Amino acid sequence: MSGDGGGGGGGGGATSSKPSLGFKVPDWYSSIWPEAKNIPDAWLTQGLSFDAKFPLGIVQPKNGPCGVLAAVQAVLISQCRKKENFSEKYKPSDEDLADAVVAILLQAAKGKEEKDDPIIVCTWSGKVGEAVNEIKCEKETQLKPLVFKNIKYFSGSGGCVLVVYSAALTRGVKQIKQDIISEGGETGSPLTIKAHNSWLCTSELISLLIRGKAGGNVGAFTLMGRPHNWGNMDLGVGLLTADEFKNGIVVCDALKSPKSPVWILHGGDHFTTLWSNEDLATSNDDNGDDEDKKEKELRSAHTYTFYHWNGLPPGGPRLSKITVKALNGIAPPAPKKRVESYFKPLPGEIESVVQAHPEDRKNKAGQYEKWRWEVMLAVDDPTVKGQERPKDMPKQPVFEQGPITSGEWRCRTCYADRFKTLYFKLNPAEATVCQGPCKLSRVEAGWSIWMEYDKLPPLQKAVLDRREAPKIKNILWTKFPGAEITWEEDKDFDGSPPSA
């Protein structure tokens, strides 16, 4: 993701020369694809047809168009969940798919400079992946009949490509270029990139499909640090991303709290879909007598049921039922300005978590909350830079170095300089002087200590959760901080967690 977003599809460079691919290549081809080559089979064989076993899921045999599939599925679910007979077993009709495509195109037509331009519906004029018919729709009332008449093109092979073409041409190449630049994207970037030998979706493409504007900044701030949010979110679809816990990118409020409880999940290199059949509270705040009664009831309900779809092997095709016990409610709105996330630790605070105890990792595989952890305490080091923690921020617990322990020991002084010296060895148990570069006595140098997970402060527990917990938990924690998250085990996937 470009701008303040992250991996899984930043902008690529523009292509200049017009390719020769065995058919008349349109001028807009390089605005969508990363190379002047034929479209990969992963896209050409991918239709927008739903799974027989899990009717709401779109199966994705090959890596590439996951973002498009997740966006179309999310828009469809956002619309269909309003129906009385909707559930995770709901079987979408051709009309439902047409409604989703129509909604995407109408959204793309909003807010562009050339307001009188027609909406464009693309179909294959011959071989899938080559020339297309660009059907102009002058009146909004004509759009649904036109899309429904041609729904076989969208549900069939290459249907995911036609959705992209239709949305891009409806928005207009010139407008898309302006959209991309407006949110920090590279001038001339296409809507897909090449990575891992595949053509992948960018955040700009996801944005085009769910809000009608190809701006790729999913964060709550611009590159200059000003507040940023997504407008025109009438389709009711949000996005949660692994970049929030990996890179500290705070997702903007419109994506984190959409109008419908439907999200695209960005795991870093893959997009999946999450939704709830229930309504969720939109805030933790109690607004007293002025608060909507339904909102008050929703806020008091701490347990929610979600369904997560991943259509790509090896983690799918899989529909997972996930239970979220939101003990701390939902995440608050994004701050008005960037918040410093690193503060210089005080002496005695835990400076870093080094590793899990090897025996625990081996004998209690996957149960990181039952492991012992090696931690390094901070000392007063003037070479370590960082702001002082604000006075209104809770203080971190302080621990004692304690008596000299038995067994091998890690030098605190050498550990602090490990990236300069590349020295990572432990000292023998009998060593009273560090054998590493510092050559200090053990008492002078200091050493790491071992602590059980339960005794670690919340800050260090959060670090380990990000490091060890399944990615699906970490992504959901960005919306439901500290929630208890469980799922029904699936024997077809050997009891493994839902894959994001």
Task: Show the DSSP H helices in 304-424 as ranges.
Answer: 358-363, 412-416, 418-421
The mean pLDDT of the chain is 88
What is the pLDDT averaged over residues 17-26? 74
Sheet with 372-377, edge to edge strand ranges: 350-356, 372-377, 449-452
Query: Looking at per-residue confidence, does 395 or 342 come out higher?
Result: 395
Pairing of strands 372-377, 449-452: antiparallel
pLDDT of the residue at 11: 41
Please state, in angstroms and rounded to a whole number, the distance separating the CA atoms of residues 350 and 445.
Answer: 16
Confidence of residue 14 (pLDDT cuts 50, 70, 90): very low
Please state, in angstroms and rounded to a whole number, the distance separating the CA atoms of residues 431 and 408.
Answer: 8
Please state, in angstroms and rounded to a whole number, the distance separating the CA atoms of residues 33 and 192.
Answer: 6
DSSP per position, 313-380: TTT-SEEEEEEEE-TT-SPPPPPSS-----BPPPTTSEEEEEEE-HHHHHHTTT-GGGSEEEEEE---
pLDDT digits (tens, 9 = 90+) for 114-161: 777 899 999 999 999 999 999 999 899 999 999 999 999 999 999 999
pTM of this structure:
0.86
Residue linked to tokens 């011959």: 126
pLDDT of the residue at 4: 35
Query: Looking at per-residue confidence, does 162 or 23 come out higher?
Result: 162
pLDDT digits (tens, 9 = 90+) for 183-230: 989 988 999 999 988 999 999 999 999 999 999 999 999 888 888 888
Measuring CA to CA, which residue among 239, 158, 236 is closest to residue 204?
239
**Pair 280, 26: CB distance under 8 Å:** no
